[in-house]
Chains A and B, each alone.
Chain A
Amino acid sequence: MKQAFGAGANTFAKLSLLGGGLFTVLILGLLFVLDHSPYTRGPIGVAVNQPVRFSHQLHSGVLNIDCRYCHISAEQGAYGGIPDTHTCMSCHSQIATYSELLEPVRTSYATGEYLVWNKVHNIAQHVYFNHSAHVNAGFACETCHGRVDQMPLVWQHQSMTMSWCLECHREPERFIRTYDQVYTFGEPAPENQIDVGLQLVAAQGIDVSRLSNCSICHR
């Protein structure tokens, strides 16, 4: 009777074991890469177009206007906050009143229609990030948002992955600053950042052992 499998079948079977393993690893690897890729995370370093070409480089960088002048809810609430056009008009009622670029702002202020800006940072929705908890404890805008004072149009600066969050949640002393440095850009960290950081962490009453609990960020 003829054999159903030839002489090479055993080798093939063994190879297929190896191949199957490799295939599984490949699929899992692809899923991991996809999960961390700009396709799902939002592109890093790519400027997002906006209905009004507002330049942070000019307003924050050149004019040195404090972040809070417009993004006040970062200090007062959970959401970072986009200013209403009343805020824009508190200067632009007098400055660049002729500017065509500002037409949507003036229209919004006059009619009460919202000026809807495009979101740059899309954090996963099972993460409950609170801006005021971070800035009031001494974590600077710059640490997560990068040199916004050098961005003509804003782009995402950090990956916003959970492992990135945990870098700081496990060792907040590496990033914490004094309160007067929270809304500044480009100030070099002190040489003894870790020592200063540990003192600041203690002074703020931050319990580092709790910072990597799931429920700190996920609810």
Chain B
Amino acid sequence: MLTPMHTTQRASSRRLSPLLIALALLLMAGCRNMQQQPKLAAPYDESVLFGRAAREILPEAVPVGFLRDDELLHTGMQNGELATEFPFPITREILETGRSQYNAFCAPCHGYAGYGNGVIVVEGFPMARSFHTEEMRSAPVGRFYRAIAYGVGVMYDYAARVPVDKRWAIVAYIRALQHSQNAAYAELPAEIQAQLAQTGTQTTEAMGS
């Protein structure tokens, strides 16, 4: 009685193994299906309902975070005049953000130090405005903000690329740049003064000899 049962078991396992292999293959096929899903993964993918995956914003629709209800923050104006103050207090952290954003978006034309001689100007773009003129030093902050948000002259607007808070961070950094290029000797920290005095002496000595 034992032997037939034994045989049946072996026979069934032999019949099972191709099934198992087929199942394993099916499972692996399943993996591939997960890698290619019936969804719109890329922004330009065509959609039957909406034209394409990344939909156009409908006219007059206001995306979350884009409600322009604060005149100073969003338009850089105060009571119809160019704003003379920042909409929020400027901290060291904001200045660092401003530097990073300025170097990415402004430096190609305005240059890293803000003299209007960035690499794109060297390539043939009309000379960008230098921030180190009396006019620009006394210009209200709203003027800088509005240039970023709406563009000015041949400068296109950067509204799509630089969000509101980062625009103000850039303006703050431009103020810092202006200060850095036009600082009075008496305003400098003592150690920098000492450093300058030393370099000055060295230079004089070098020139003298």
Give A contacts to B, CB under 8 Å.
24, 31, 40, 63-69, 72, 76, 79, 82, 84, 86-87, 89-91, 93-95, 114, 116, 119, 124-126, 179-180, 183
With A95-B125, A125-B39, A126-B35 in contact, do A180 and B44 touch (Cβ < 8 Å)? no
Interface centre among B108, B124, B158, B163 (most CB of A within 10 A): B108
Contact of A89 among B44, B108, B123, B156 (CB under 8 A): B156
B106-140 interface with A by 8 A CB criterion: 107-108, 119-120, 123-126
User: Known contacts A86-B156, A95-B125, A125-B39; can you find 15 more A-B pairs with CB under 8 A?
Assistant: A24-B21, A63-B108, A64-B119, A66-B103, A66-B105, A68-B161, A69-B104, A76-B163, A79-B43, A86-B160, A90-B156, A91-B120, A124-B34, A125-B34, A126-B35
Which residues of A have CB within 8 Å of B35? 124-126
A125-B161 in contact given A91-B125, A95-B123 (Cβ < 8 Å)? no
Asked if residues A183 and B34 are in contact (CB atoms below 8 Å), the reply is: no
Residues of B within 8 A of A183 (CB): 104
- Cα of A38 to Cα of B155 in the assembled complex, Å: 43
Interfacial chain B residues near A79, Cβ < 8 Å: 43
Interface size class of B (residues with CB under 8 A): 20 to 34
Task: Pick 26 A–B contacts, CB within 8 A, sort by A.
Answer: A24-B21, A40-B32, A63-B119, A66-B105, A66-B108, A68-B105, A69-B104, A69-B108, A76-B163, A82-B43, A84-B160, A87-B161, A91-B108, A91-B125, A93-B154, A93-B156, A95-B124, A114-B44, A114-B52, A116-B44, A125-B37, A126-B34, A126-B35, A126-B37, A179-B100, A180-B100
Q: Report chain A residues within 8 Å CB of B39.
A: 125
In the assembled complex, the Cα of A63 lies from the Cα of B104 at a distance in Å of 12
* B37 neighbours in A (Cβ, 8 Å): 125-126
Distance between Cα atoms of A184 and B34 in the complex (Å): 35
Q: How far is the CB of A90 from chain B (nearest CB, A)?
A: 4
| Interchain CA distance A198-B37 in the complex, whole Å | 37
CA distance A95 to B161 in the complex (A): 21
Contact indicator B105/A69 (Cβ below 8 Å): yes
Chain A at the B interface: SS class = loop
Q: Which residues of B contact A95 (CB under 8 A)?
A: 120, 123-125
A93, A124, A179, most chain B CB atoms within 10 A? A124
Distance to closest chain A CB from B14 (angstroms): 11
Known contacts A79-B43, A125-B35, A126-B35; A72 and B161 CB within 8 A of each other: yes
Report A-chain residues with C-beta under 8 Å of the C-beta of B36. Answer: 125
Q: B41 contacts A125, CB within 8 Å?
A: yes
- 5 closest A-B pairs by beta carbon, nearest first, are A66-B104, A90-B156, A124-B35, A126-B34, A68-B104
Residue in B44, B120, B156, B160 whose CB lies within 8 Å of A63 = B120
Give a binary string over B143-181; 1 marks a CB under 8 Å from any A CB, 0 the rest: 000000000001110101111000000000000000000
Assembled-state Cα–Cα distance A82/B155 (Å): 21
Residue B48 at the A interface, CB < 8 A? no
